Amino acid sequence: MRTTSLFAALAAAKTALAKGPFLQQVTPTQWIIGNDLWNVTQGATYATNLQYQGSDAVGKAQGHYAGVDGEANLVYTSAKIVSNSQDYIDVAFSSSLGDLHWVIYPDLAGAYQYFVNKALPDLSIFRTLWRLDPALFTYGFNTNKNEKLPDFSLYANAPEIQDETFQFPDGSYVTKYDFANYVRERDFVGVFGDQTGSWYIHPTNEYQPGNHLSQTLTVHRESATGDAVQLNVVQDTSHFRVGVKTPQPVGKIWGPWLWYLNNGSVSDARTRAAHERATFPYSFLNNTAYHSRGSIKGKLTLSDGRPAAGAAVFLGDTDTSIRPLVQGSNYYYTTFADASGSFSIPNVRSGSYGLIAASNGGVIGDVYTNFTSPVTISKDKTADLGSLTWTVPLNEKIFQIGDFDKKATGFTNSGLHVHGLTEKSPANLTYTVGVSKTSDWYYASSKLGSWDVVFNTSAPSKTAKALLSVSLAGYSQSTSLTIYLNGNKTIGTITKDALTSDPALYRSGTISGEWRFLQYEIAASDLKAGKNVLSFTTDRYTLWRGILWDSIILEWIV
């Protein structure tokens, strides 16, 4: 059981009479910060004794801390007020790796936070988090889920079947990945109960790495202690993708975001999130580069004349050959084109970027090429790219299953993060082009067996070639799959020898992981006039692993 030192108790008594934001040092490595509504005791690593609504919201839990990859947590050696206005104070807790700032206003339950890098190593993960009293915080919330956290008592008889994944006596699974979601779809996440809520509100995602498909963790029940865990993962080039460590420039800023306390009301947190988006960028941040911003706009048209309606637009690293999911050293922006192919992004930090546009399904769901272009953003100016032509092949489609959106959208069992759904996919399946629906295909292949696509075609000429494009939303080894034509012709293989594993499928991912794109040429002589069968045969089975599907298209090359 955690106890408060005599010094901390005396300091707390003094601050009870304090007015407005404050920082008070208790020992060389212990401080109290807060205002009239809340205060917390910060130690060398952990912040505990969160006083709010007349009680300690941390209790026996671990409290607040920050760190990189695993449990390499920051160790603070000093704290000081670096900015003090009539409206707020900016308190910086310094570590050898960087400074974590708390910007405290007098009437705000919570604080703005941001981290400034001094000497971070190349890394995959950087996060701050709260581990809070499970008796007060019983529910978890993110964009996709608003659910009660699993009762801690259930873990007692639940075997751990893989990292932080447990099977309850009724056969159901629970994992910390169940509450994962797409970073750029969320603006606030939190844990809450009947009387108290703790939220992370992000007015922008510019300091988050990766493109639209970047996913990370949000909230969960800590299996070892029962703590309610509220995660703020602001750097992640590891989970749900083929992970890498990325270098971090000195002076890079993650944030500011708002850590917000309330009475547990989700609607109030949503209203506050809208307010934060409207006030971004924040005037309190004293950083010239942060306030040097411009905007970008343009219009994408496919080379066949169609507007690139709904295209996913990503503003990332100047080197567009770097996989978007693991771009993580700079600042990143995303949007979607409208029905005319037009897009715009405001409040972009000045600098050089690489623009990548890709199909997000819908009316351009047959497009598997990407569009790229260099972009320069200047302060107080709009980078008007004008009309942009996106080159697409003019091949003749034979059939297509699923839209190209780098997701398993539209296939059966694709949706929320749920562990073990690969086992609900059939071992054998027949999909008849012109008869079957997209939903007759399943989001993932795993079991030993064959998924057969029956289609009709006739070759335009004896020398014609067909092109089979296989787009995977993810792949988890060591599943192996062989593609056959008409029972005996091997078209290609998908194995761990050709593809590096990503963990999406076995970490509850049912929509996407790391996108892969494979193409195979087929001679006209290998196809029959009339009925043909393409077989996707799984010949090596691995529990919860497999192929996560995006789209399959067969075309005559024009």
pLDDT at 362: 97
- Calculate mean pLDDT across residues 140-162: 94
Assign domain 292-390 to a CATH class.
mainly beta
Q: pLDDT band for 276, please (50, 70, 90 cuts).
A: very high
Contacts of 401 (CB under 8 A, 6+ apart): 431, 438, 441, 453, 551, 552, 553
Bigger pLDDT: 249 or 15? 249
Q: Are 477 and 465 in contact (CB under 8 A)?
A: no
Q: Are 257 and 198 in contact (CB under 8 A)?
A: no
Q: Are 328 and 126 in contact (CB under 8 A)?
A: no
Share of the chain above pLDDT 70, in %: 97
Would you state the structure tokens that stand for residue 432, as one six-digit string?
A: 């008849």
Rounded to the nearest integer, the mean pLDDT of the chain is 95
Could you state, in order of their start, the residue ranges of all structural domains in the chain? 6-290, 292-390, 396-556
- Calculate mean pLDDT across residues 5-18: 45
| In the block, residue with structure tokens 């801390």 | 65
Residue 1: is its pLDDT beyond 80?
Answer: no
- The CA distance from 203 to 385, in Å, is 26
pLDDT digits (tens, 9 = 90+) for 110-125: 999 999 999 999 999 9
Share of the chain above pLDDT 90, in %: 95
Would you state the structure tokens that stand for residue 481, as one six-digit string?
A: 């799959």
Residue 272's CB is within 10 A of a number of other CB atoms, namely 20
Residue 356: is its pLDDT beyond 90?
Answer: yes
b (16+ CB within 10 A) / e for 240-254? bbbbbbbebeeebbb
- The CA distance from 453 to 435, in Å, is 11
Indicate whether this model's pTM tops 0.85: yes
Return the amino acid letter for 334: T
- Calculate mean pLDDT across residues 391-405: 97
- Calculate mean pLDDT across residues 420-440: 97
| In the block, residue with structure tokens 């604080």 | 111
Return the amino acid letter for 129: L
Q: pLDDT band for 16, please (50, 70, 90 cuts).
A: very low
pLDDT digits (tens, 9 = 90+) for 178-190: 999 999 998 899 9
pLDDT at 278: 97
Residue 7: is its pLDDT beyond 60?
Answer: no
Question: Is 3.10.420.10 the CATH number for 6-290?
Answer: no
**Terminal CA-CA length for the chain:** 73
- Calculate mean pLDDT across residues 346-369: 98
Residue 239's CB is within 10 A of a number of other CB atoms, namely 21
- Calculate mean pLDDT across residues 541-547: 96
Give, in order, the Cα–Cα distances in Å from 334 to each of 34, 58, 361, 415: 35, 36, 16, 22
pLDDT at 10: 42
pLDDT at 328: 98
Contacts of 470 (CB under 8 A, 6+ apart): 483, 492, 494, 517, 518, 519, 520, 552
Q: pLDDT band for 18, please (50, 70, 90 cuts).
A: low
- The CA distance from 408 to 415, in Å, is 8
- The CA distance from 191 to 51, in Å, is 17
Q: Are 412 and 443 in contact (CB under 8 A)?
A: yes
pLDDT at 6: 40
pLDDT digits (tens, 9 = 90+) for 50-81: 999 999 999 999 999 999 998 899 999 999 99
Residue 287: is its pLDDT beyond 50?
Answer: yes
pLDDT at 71: 83
CATH second-level architecture of 396-556?
A: Sandwich (2.60)
- The CA distance from 23 to 238, in Å, is 36
Give, in order, the Cα–Cα distances in Å from 366 to each of 342, 361, 465, 533, 550: 19, 7, 19, 21, 11
pLDDT at 70: 85
pLDDT at 85: 94
